[in-house]
Amino acid sequence: MSEFAVRAEKAAKAEKLDAGDELAGVRGQFVLDEVVYLDGNSLGALPSAVPGRVEDVVRRQWGELRIRSWDESGWWTAPERIGDRIAPLVGAAAGQIVVGDSTSVNVFKALVAAVRMAGEGRDEILVDATTFPTDGYIAESAARMTGRTLRPVTPAQVPDALSGRTAAVLLNHVDYRTGRLHDLPALTAAVHAAGAVSVWDLCHSAGALPVGLDEYGVDLAVGCTYKYLNGGPGSPAYLYVRGDLQDRFDSPLPGWNSHVEPFGMRSDFTPADGALRGRVGTPDILSMLALEAALEVWDGVSIEAVRAKSLALTDFFLECVAAYAPDGRVESLTPVAHGERGSQVALRCADAGDVMKRLIERGVVGDFRHPDVLRFGFTPLYVGFADVERAARVLGEVLR
């Protein structure tokens, strides 16, 4: 087929896929431009509802009501209210998620609490050796501070590495580099069979695919909100503590917001009931309420529809890259099998840093991950199939 014919065929296919896209209407709820934005797995695009909400929070809630807003504008209860808004997206019933702090800080809370739940006899923490670095650094600190040994293993090695010594296992649902989706149900079951506690990092899966926290009996989980949840730069992370474990959640960061009676100003600490004990200090209201507005785009959207579109987008991208990219210039690190794929495509490319720079200059935004990875994230809420065709076509041109 000629280059022209290939292009015509892909464009026609994109048009057909876009016409059948049941989520196409959601795109109108985001502020977008002519750029093909495939970096929503780093920073989600701006939902249109956010600027007006933030303005109200700043001008009226802070500027006029001031301190009264802690009650009257619902500031005080925002961490658990917004947690309940995230809950259905990750398959959790209400009352198990609180929002606040960064992902790193929540990994620390969750992993230390997990070790404490596991009990004194278990002296080893398993951590994904291919994890996003912060999880590994924090796990090292959690191990040091609880007197445990940290053992990095690949997710595939976890079942064999588990033993009666294992206290807790920290895993990523989707690998930040390759986009590989790990088998959360099977790995959680294996962790439980060994009597250990599972901690899942959902940064690269929440909002892109069904997680099923309750269904698969996950113990503890954390995630950020600025990727597929579009909460804005550095928006607060969240912590999930399964309902029946909450009484045993013993936080290493017991702040005044974790107390059963925060305004009692007691010198002795008694933790709040429920997920609230995962809170720490004063919640960061501006960022938190921007996130709350951002989550409104999920009204009426099913995560199953998002997943179906996500797979169609990445399938089509891989197909277009195969058609447009010169042979041997890039190699996909992302699994072909749907059951092993998140919502991104990672392409290995010798001169990836330079290639990504040129892609961005030409209006296709992904990101570069050291040392040789082109990473493209597909947010089904606002990326369409014509975007995908264009991105792959421009990539092909840049690579030639």
Per CB under 8 A, does 282 bind its own copies?
yes
Smallest distance from its own copies to CB 35, Å: 8
Q: Which is nearer to its own copies, 62 or 157 (CB)?
A: 62
Per DSSP, the three-state class of 64 is: helix
Residue 329 appears among annotated catalytic residues: no
Is 104 known as a binding-site position? yes
Task: Scan residues 331-350 and list those touching its own copies (CB under 8 A).
Answer: none
Per CB under 8 A, does 50 bind its own copies?
yes
Is 228 known as a binding-site position? no
Per CB under 8 A, does 66 bind its own copies?
yes
Task: Scan residues 212-271 and list those touching its own copies (CB under 8 A).
Answer: 224, 226, 232-237, 251-259, 263-267, 269
Residue 226 appears among annotated catalytic residues: yes
The string over 244-256, giving b where at least 16 C-beta atoms fall within 10 Å of a residue's C-beta and e elsewhere, is: eebeebebbbbbb
Task: Scan residues 82-101 and list those touching its own copies (CB under 8 A).
Answer: 101
Within the chain, residue ranges assigned H as helices are 3-19, 49-56, 69-72, 78-86, 103-118, 133-146, 158-161, 184-193, 285-294, 303-324, 352-361, 385-399
Per DSSP, the three-state class of 101 is: coil
Which amino acid belongs to residue 167?
A: A
Break the chain down into helix, strand, coil percent, rounded to 5: 45, 15, 40
Per CB under 8 A, does 155 bind its own copies?
no
Is 135 known as a binding-site position? yes
Nearest one of 221, 278, 249, 276 to 101, comparing CA atoms: 278
Is 134 known as a binding-site position? yes
Q: Which of 14, 132, 166, 240 binds its own copies (CB under 8 A)?
A: 132
**Region class of 126: left (phi > 0), else alpha (psi between -120 and 50), else beta:** beta
Q: Which is nearer to its own copies, 102 or 302 (CB)?
A: 102
Q: Which of 137, 157, 245, 358 binds its own copies (CB under 8 A)?
A: 137
Q: What are phi and psi of 365, to 5 degrees?
A: -105, 115
Residue 201 appears among annotated catalytic residues: yes
Per CB under 8 A, does 353 bind its own copies?
no
Q: Which residues are catalytic?
A: 132, 201, 226-227, 375
Q: Which residues are annotated as a binding site for pyridoxal 5'-phosphate?
A: 103-104, 132-135, 201, 204, 226, 256, 282
